[in-house]
């Protein structure tokens, strides 16, 4: 892994991923909206920035050229199939054999075997209702993006993040295949460590064709699981 692309590099998760990738010595190409280029000023001398909407196929085609890996922040903002458009462009244009790692939340289920609390389902339903009626976001488009990724024969991983908090790194999060598994019960990960997991996944072949649901390695449920096992 020498050169990677980070799609959605200017966001909170994206900037942490840029830092982790540079720490590992990767050459980094970052894609972000033109109006957000300034958010990457701290890295300007060390990365190549391709400005543009992440669901713009031409932008993605240029950005991923020659990249061994692509980290994609999937977000459902707007009403123009932003998530599925972004995912499809990455699936279509990444070079053959490239490692593709996508971010999303616990609400995405690969096999329908995740177990969600009533509160979680209620919040998701409410967030969907509000953002759709205000025409702010299409949460269901993130599901569509992931359906396309799961159906693809590319070397993908979909990392499903718990609730997030800021703070110093605690180390690589732990993961499980299904929300509802006891190790995940704390439902909290540091955003910097979500980014660490995404970047580490690039070189972890055991995660190919997996949709790990993650939780912080210092979260009480992770510590309890560790001491029990
Ligand atoms: N927030 C949470 O609690 C949470 C929990 C679990 C999983 N996740 C997952 O984590 C990832 C990033 O989450 P985050 O909270 O850390 O956010 P973030 O890093 O700030 O990422 C937000 C991204 O969305 C872009 N964006 C914002 N408004 C937009 C708009 N109107 N149109 C197009 N793009 C827009 C941002 O680009 P600009 O820089 O151009 O604005 C940025 O790339 C997502 O995959 C999300 O599903 C989040």
- Binned at pLDDT 50, 70 and 90, residue 225 comes out as confident
How many A from CA of 224 to the centre of ligand 1?
A: 30
3-class DSSP assignment, residue 26? coil
**Closest ligand 1 atom number to CA of residue 82:** 33
**Closest ligand 1 atom number to CA of residue 13:** 19
Give Cα 10 distance to the centre of its chain.
13
Domain count along the chain: 1
**Residue 24: CB atoms within 10 Å:** 14
pLDDT mean across residues, the chain: 96
Q: Which of 203, 207, 98 is nearest to 160 (CA)?
A: 207
How many A from CA of 10 to the centre of ligand 1?
A: 9
What would the pLDDT profile of 191-206 be if each residue is shown by its tens digit?
Answer: 999 999 999 999 999 9
What would the pLDDT profile of 19-38 be if each residue is shown by its tens digit?
Answer: 999 999 999 999 999 999 99
Q: Tell me, what's the pLDDT at 229?
A: 67
Q: What is the CATH number of the domain that holds 156?
A: 3.40.50.720
**Closest ligand 1 atom number to CA of residue 194:** 10
Q: Residue 70 in contact with residue 149, Cβ under 8 Å?
A: no
Q: Which residues line ligand 1 (CB under 6 A)?
A: 8, 10-14, 32-33, 36, 39, 73-75, 77-78, 82, 103-105, 161, 163-164, 191
**Closest ligand 1 atom number to CA of residue 14:** 19
- Residue 196's domain comprises 3-228
How many A from CA of 92 to the centre of ligand 1?
A: 22
Q: Which of 207, 222, 85 is nearest to 158 (CA)?
A: 207
- Binned at pLDDT 50, 70 and 90, residue 79 comes out as confident
What is each CA distance from 145 to 83, 158, 169, 170, 184, in whole angstroms? 6, 10, 29, 30, 24
Q: Which two tokens stand for residue 172?
A: 């690589």
How many A from CA of 111 to the centre of ligand 1?
A: 24
Mutate to test the pocket of ligand 1, among 5, 8, 80 (most ligand atoms within 8 A of CB): 8
Q: Concatenated DSSP letters for 126-188?
A: HHHHHHHHTTSB-HHHHHHHHHHHHT--SEEEEEEE-SEE-SS---SPEEESSTT-GGGTT--
What would the pLDDT profile of 147-176 be if each residue is shown by its tens digit?
Answer: 999 999 999 999 999 999 999 999 999 999
How many A from CA of 77 to the centre of ligand 1?
A: 8
**Mean pLDDT within 81-85:** 95
What would the pLDDT profile of 93-146 be if each residue is shown by its tens digit?
Answer: 999 999 999 999 999 999 999 999 999 999 999 999 999 999 999 999 999 999
Q: Which of 74, 72, 36, 76 is nearest to 52 (CA)?
A: 36
What would the pLDDT profile of 33-66 be if each residue is shown by its tens digit?
Answer: 999 999 999 999 999 999 999 999 999 999 999 9
pTM for the full model? 0.97
How many A from CA of 204 to the centre of ligand 1?
A: 24
Q: Tell me, what's the pLDDT at 216?
A: 98
Q: Among the residues of the chain, which ranges form H helices?
A: 12-23, 57-64, 82-93, 118-133, 139-150, 191-201, 220-228
């Amino acid at each position: 892994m020498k050169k990677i692309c980070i799609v959605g590099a200017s966001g909170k998760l994206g900037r942490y991923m840029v830092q982790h990738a540079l720490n590992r010595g990767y050459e980094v190409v970052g894609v972000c909206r033109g109006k957000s280029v300034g958010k990457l000023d701290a890295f300007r001398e060390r990365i190549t920035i391709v400005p543009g909407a992440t669901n713009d196929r031409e932008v993605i085609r240029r950005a991923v050229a020659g990249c061994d890996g692509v980290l994609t922040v999937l977000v459902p903002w707007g009403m123009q199939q932003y998530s599925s458009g972004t995912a499809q462009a990455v699936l279509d244009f990444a070079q053959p054999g490239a490692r593709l790692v996508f971010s999303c939340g616990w609400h995405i289920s690969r096999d329908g075997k995740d177990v969600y609390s009533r509160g979680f389902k209620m919040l998701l339903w409410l967030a969907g209702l509000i953002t759709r009626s205000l025409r702010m976001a299409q949460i269901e488009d993130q599901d569509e993006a992931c359906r396309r990724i799961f159906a693809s024969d590319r070397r993908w991983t979909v990392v499903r993040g718990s609730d997030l908090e800021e703070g110093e790194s605690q180390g690589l999060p732990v993961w499980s295949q299904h929300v509802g598994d006891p190790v995940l019960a704390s439902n909290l990960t540091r955003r910097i460590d979500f980014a660490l997991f995404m970047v580490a996944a690039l070189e972890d072949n055991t995660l190919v064709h997996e949709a790990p649901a993650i939780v912080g390695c210092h979260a009480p449920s992770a510590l309890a699981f560790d001491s029990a096992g």
